[in-house]
Amino acid sequence: MNDIVLIAGTRPEIIKMAPIVKAFQNNSIPFVFVHCGQHYDYNMSQQFIEELGLPEPDYGFKIKVYSPCVQTSRIIMILGRLMEKVKPRLVLVEGDTNGVLASALAAVKLDVPVGHVEAGLRSFDLRMPEEHNRRLVDHASTYLFAPTDRARKNLERESVWGKIYVTGNTVIDAVMQHLPIAEKKSTILEKIRFKEFALVTAHRTENVDDPVVLRNLVESFVEAPVPIVYPLHPRTRKRLRQHKLWRNFVSAENVQILPPLGYFDFLLLMKGCRMIITDSGGLQEEATAPNLRKPVLVTRLSTERPEAVENGFAKVVGVDKHGILDAIERTLEGKFDFPQFSPYGDGNAGSKIVGIVLEELNAGNIESANSLQ
């Protein structure tokens, strides 16, 4: 077939791949859309594909395991067989998950070029599994689509061998394209029992798997001087129950826990909130979109999105309860004069990436993998 293969496996990847999928469609470039199965239930995956108006994946898998080693190895095996069948000219992956690493490794072992969307991010915190993944994928990639100049410099400092392009981040494309639709379609704000609230997420391994850190986060949210709205990741719900924190948390008067939400509902919560408190990397970027522009408190010790901090959108506040509560107070009291433009691009990253791929195709630089002929 020799088409280009686009691979996603989690909801952030689906969101960030959506502008690329649409740009391929707009340019009539054939592609194969694959869901590698890292997030396999409706709320964590399929709902986002439907809301974003993406085509049904040509191939979809369900990896019903939680061990990182088993999950990664199974995706390598499944996608290796798929690539032998499809014989792609190029594989595009986005981000830093186990599925992204597995997809890239499967392609490399079959001599298929890899394009890494969102290349060059660095937290310099090796406690984070995502930091391992993104570094390995960057060094295995033929094409590296860096969202910012800082990301480009990270790649150059590490002497990656692939071609580097600064394109912006496709998450800004997604917010700018879909927030107007969300404002028309979502009714989520009618279900929120607070007029003013902070939007919270927490899911990273180093936070929710550590009972001390998780307790700090829970106590911060329960004692927060602003009501908390918390769409709860399944992993976090499991850990709250496991560490006997669930009952007090769910009964707190100023906390409203929601199930995992679709993209439109979440966009509207970001638009309507007073601030965002999160350990997510993607939310730090989304909050800088010109049609959102929200303050973000990052409940981590580091961030791979320093541009959001430098431009005043985000502040790394750590995981100590008192530090988090103090940061919430300061944010409530503060006045913010955010830049009008996002440090992560102008909303055209997807088109830029596809334009580069098209140029490489036309120049004959992207050929079918020799080992798959």
Nearest-10 Cα torsion for 352, 358, 361, 366: 30
* Per-residue pLDDT, 145: 98
- Provide the residue ranges of all domains of the chain, joining segments of one domain with +: 4-168+347-372, 175-333
* Per-residue pLDDT, 122: 97
Q: Which CATH superfamily is domain 4-168+347-372 in?
A: Glycogen Phosphorylase B; (3.40.50.2000)
The vertex-236 CA angle with 293 and 44, nearest 5°, equals 70
* Per-residue pLDDT, 187: 97
Running along the chain, 373 residues long, what does each successive block of 10 average in pLDDT? 87 95 94 84 71 93 80 94 96 96 97 98 92 98 98 98 98 98 97 97 90 96 98 90 93 95 96 97 97 97 96 97 98 93 97 96 72 45
* Per-residue pLDDT, 41: 59
Q: Does the fold of domain 175-333 match that of domain 4-168+347-372?
A: yes
Instruction: Say how far apart CA 265 and CA 263 lie, in whole Å.
Output: 6
Q: Which of 203, 233, 243, 322 is catalytic?
A: 203
Instruction: Say how far apart CA 231 and CA 317 lie, in whole Å.
Output: 21
Instruction: Say how far apart CA 245 and CA 248 lie, in whole Å.
Output: 6
Amino acid 140 reads: A
203 catalytically annotated? yes
* Per-residue pLDDT, 363: 87
Rg (CA), the chain: 20
* Per-residue pLDDT, 52: 93
Q: Which CATH number fits domain 175-333: 3.40.50.2000, 3.90.1710.10, 3.90.79.10, 3.40.605.10?
A: 3.40.50.2000
Check: CB of residue 121 under 8 Å from CB of residue 169.
no
Quote the crossing angle between the two packed helices 129-140 and 98-109, to the nearest 10°: 30
Instruction: Say how far apart CA 11 and CA 262 lie, in whole Å.
Output: 9
* Per-residue pLDDT, 373: 45
